[in-house]
Amino acid sequence: MTGATVNLPLRLAALGFLAVLVQIAAISQLTVFGVSIDLTPLLVASVGLLAGSLAGAVFGFCVGLFVDMALVQTLGVNSLLLIAIGYWAGRLRELRDPDGALVPLAVGAAAAAVAMLGFSLMQFLLGVHAPVSWLLARQIVVTILAGALFALPVYALVRRVLGGSLPQDPRRRRRRAYTTGGLSPLQSGRSPVR
* Closest among 20, 14, 12 to 48, alpha carbons compared: 12
Q: Is residue 170 part of a domain?
A: no
To the question of pTM greater than 0.85 for the whole model, the response is no
Tens of pLDDT along 39-87?
Answer: 999 999 999 999 889 999 999 999 999 998 998 888 888 999 999 999 9
Containing domain of residue 61, as a range? 11-164
DSSP conformation class of 36: E
Q: Is residue 29 part of a domain?
A: yes
Q: Is residue 50 part of a domain?
A: yes
Q: Is residue 171 part of a domain?
A: no
* Closest among 66, 121, 111, 61 to 85, alpha carbons compared: 111
* Closest among 65, 104, 105, 106 to 82, alpha carbons compared: 65
Q: What is the pLDDT along the chain (194 residues), one digit of tens a residue?
A: 555 566 888 999 999 999 999 999 988 888 877 888 889 999 999 999 998 899 999 999 999 999 989 988 888 889 999 999 999 999 998 888 777 778 889 999 999 999 988 988 888 888 777 666 777 788 888 889 988 889 999 999 999 998 877 776 545 544 444 455 555 555 555 555 55
> What is the rounded distance in angstroms from the CA atom of residue 188 to the CA atom of residue 174?
16
Q: Is residue 192 part of a domain?
A: no
> What is the rounded distance in angstroms from the CA atom of residue 95 to the CA atom of residue 86?
14
> Count of domains in the chain?
1
Q: Is residue 177 part of a domain?
A: no
The enclosing domain of 135 has a CATH number of 1.10.1760.20
CB 19 within 8 A of CB 43: yes
Q: Is residue 188 part of a domain?
A: no
Q: Is residue 190 part of a domain?
A: no
